[in-house]
Amino acid sequence: MSMNASSLTLPLSLYVHLPWCVRKCPYCDFNSHAAPAQIPQREYIDALLQDLENDLPDVRGRSLGSIFFGGGTPSLFAPEELGRLLDGVRAYIDFDPDIEISLEANPGTIEHGRFTAYRAAGVNRVSLGAQSFEPAHLQALGRIHGSGDIARSVEELLSAEIENFNLDLMYGLPGQTLAQSLADLEAALALAPAHLSHYQLTLEPGTVFYHRPPSLPDADLIWQMQLECQARLAARGYDQYEVSAYARVGRRSRHNLNYWEFGDYLGIGAGAHGKLTIFQSGKVQVIRTLRTRMPRAYLKQAPAERRCERRLVPGEDLAFEYMLNALRLMEGFEERDFEVRTGLGVAAIIPTLAAAQQRGLIEPSASEKESLRWRPTEFGRRFLNNLQQMFLPK
């Protein structure tokens, strides 16, 4: 496929991993760790800035469209330290004029006035880990907050003039009924979030729940929860644009969209992942990056050693890696975008697309561009893993 460097000016994001929590939740498989008595905030922020400085040669001349503070519980860090980090990032790399800067926050760790200070530091979007409003379910999930903390956090957000906020909400919880899942959703909607992440609890390897599984609702009940909650969200003006993401008009998560559209992102912090697309010798190369996982080992690294592990994604794996992301989107993907972001010709996936279409998993749809768009059918979204696995290398 003939390409030029200008074709590869992809959106660029920055992911910042802050790995400490008050305590580890039994369902969580993220790189998070119980916080020490004193989190080494200044030392850690210095290490993050060193990470970014080392990565600059890969992104020279590009600008950031979004920054996401994830964890762990980023709201354990002082606003002053996050502000120092953002000032440092801005000194290294340009920000888009409308940059989205998101912070994950636990409703149980927010003090009065905290969001006002985060807003002053530069944060303009917050994602609150509500998960449920039912006390028994919050306790089963190991959460440190109550339903009242969620409402108080939203009040704090609005007083800080942060109206662009997301609520994380789970369904399929231990012992949960359909009525309870709908009550959780109604409680969330009453707080009028701009965005809702509504996803099924899954038992991930390496978690407490995986090794000691709780009693979960059966598959048919979970499917009913999903369908009825989707209908209520649609009726209340929330557009589903991804498997578990719903947004009011103009409030889609720019950062997460960049992941799902196979854009580029730098990852800094303990265990952070990144992805970079490089145009070299007339070919597209996709590089995955990974940093040292354990916070203590990460902080012990000298600046000269603070290089991330880099892995070139083999060409035969690119179609599958692209589809792991793009097929999560309700709108699917454009053939031209597939070509630009993988360097592969669309002919490489036409037989698989035809086979998936024959099985009712995917369908072509009209496009505003010259190339064809493909999107999962309702059946394909229900069996998304099956659809994605069809693109594995033979």
How do residues 308-324 score in pLDDT, each as one tens digit? 999 999 999 999 999 99
Q: What is the pLDDT, as a whole number, of residue 367? A: 64
Measured CA distances, 215 to 173, 181, 209, 218, 266 (Å): 9, 16, 10, 9, 39
Together in a domain, 228 and 323: no
Q: Which of 233, 258, 283 is the last residue of a domain?
A: 258
Together in a domain, 347 and 240: no
Which residue range(s) make up the domain with 173?
Answer: 5-258
Burial classification of residue 250, based on how many CB atoms lie within 10 Å of its CB (0-12 exposed, 13-18 middle, 19 or more buried): exposed
Q: What is the bridge-based pairing of β-strands 273-280 and 283-290?
A: antiparallel
Together in a domain, 86 and 196: yes
> What is the CATH classification number for the domain harbouring 355?
1.10.10.10
Together in a domain, 250 and 343: no
Confirm whether 340 is domain-assigned: yes
DSSP 307: P
Q: Which of 237, 258, 279 is the last residue of a domain?
A: 258
> What is the CATH classification number for the domain harbouring 197?
3.20.20.70
Together in a domain, 323 and 247: no
Confirm whether 354 is domain-assigned: yes
Confirm whether 201 is domain-assigned: yes
Q: Please, what are the averages of pLDDT over each run of 10 residues along the chain (394 residues)?
A: 50 97 91 93 97 93 97 95 98 97 93 93 97 96 92 96 97 97 98 98 93 94 96 98 97 97 97 93 90 95 87 96 98 94 95 97 80 93 96 92
Together in a domain, 246 and 333: no
Measured CA distances, 57 to 54, 92, 121, 234, 295 (Å): 7, 11, 27, 44, 25
Together in a domain, 254 and 324: no
Together in a domain, 108 and 214: yes
Cβ atoms 361, 345 nearer than 8 A: no
Together in a domain, 78 and 220: yes
Confirm whether 207 is domain-assigned: yes
Together in a domain, 222 and 326: no
Distance CA 109, CA 116 (A): 15
Q: What is the pLDDT, as a whole number, of residue 9? A: 75
Together in a domain, 252 and 367: no
Q: Which residues pair with 20 in a beta bridge?
A: 33
Confirm whether 115 is domain-assigned: yes
Confirm whether 286 is domain-assigned: no
Confirm whether 74 is domain-assigned: yes
Number of folded domains that form the chain = 2
Encoded tokens for 194: 């701009």
Q: What is the pLDDT, as a whole number, of residue 304? A: 80
Q: What is the pLDDT, as a whole number, of residue 5? A: 40
What is the secondary structure of 179-224 as a DSSP string? HHHHHHHHHHHTT--SEEEEEE----TTSHHHHS------HHHHHH
- Residue 289 CA, distance from chain mean position: 16
Confirm whether 276 is domain-assigned: no
Q: Which of 213, 243, 258 is the last residue of a domain?
A: 258
